[in-house]
Amino acid sequence: MKDSDLHQLVCTISEQEFQKPFRHKAYFNKRLRTTGGRYLLQSHNIEINPKAYEQYGLEEIKGIIRHELCHYHLHLEGRGYQHRDADFRMLLKKANAPRFCSNLDGGKRRSSSKRYTYICVKCGTNYHRKIRMNTAKYRCSKCLGNLVLKK
């Protein structure tokens, strides 16, 4: 997924879930570490952690975007845009957005449970596991290639 795809996705979600346009920029920021995304108060841009997409996929990104759009729209409208604000909590619920994310007020991500990604050396298929697996025992289900732990 490219920055332009991400931007388009944010615009679409904004129109569909909030019935309001997104007029700023959305892009991936590799330097985000523990958060899935953040809303920048000064530029009004939304940054998304590419690792969230790589590790958890599209649905995860959509949740993060809905969350960041709650900050975005409330902030632009001069309403309570922080995690502790009632406006924010109500909009989160309405938009069916997850509560985690963001550096705005130090809100924590849902959990820190570690996950492991294994990649097939032959065909490149990724496997996500909550526990470590014995790579001597398991093989790629598509091509039977060897699996290696991705760091």
Token pair for 23: 């007029």
Cβ atoms of 101 and 64 within 8 Å: the answer is: yes
CA distance 68 to 100: 10
Stretch that binds Zn ion, among 12-20, 45-53, 94-102, 130-138 (CB under 5 A): 94-102
Cβ atoms of 147 and 140 within 8 Å: the answer is: yes
- Does the annotation count 15 as an active-site position? no
Q: Is 10 in the site for Zn ion (CB under 5 A)?
A: no
Whose Cβ is closer to Zn ion: residue 4's or residue 10's?
A: 10
Stretch that binds Zn ion, among 2-10, 25-33, 50-58, 136-144 (CB under 5 A): 136-144
90 contacts: CB under 8 Å, gap ≥ 6 = none
Whose Cβ is closer to Zn ion: residue 117's or residue 125's?
A: 125
Interface residues with Zn ion (CB under 5 A)?
Answer: 101-102, 120, 122-123, 125, 140, 142-143, 145
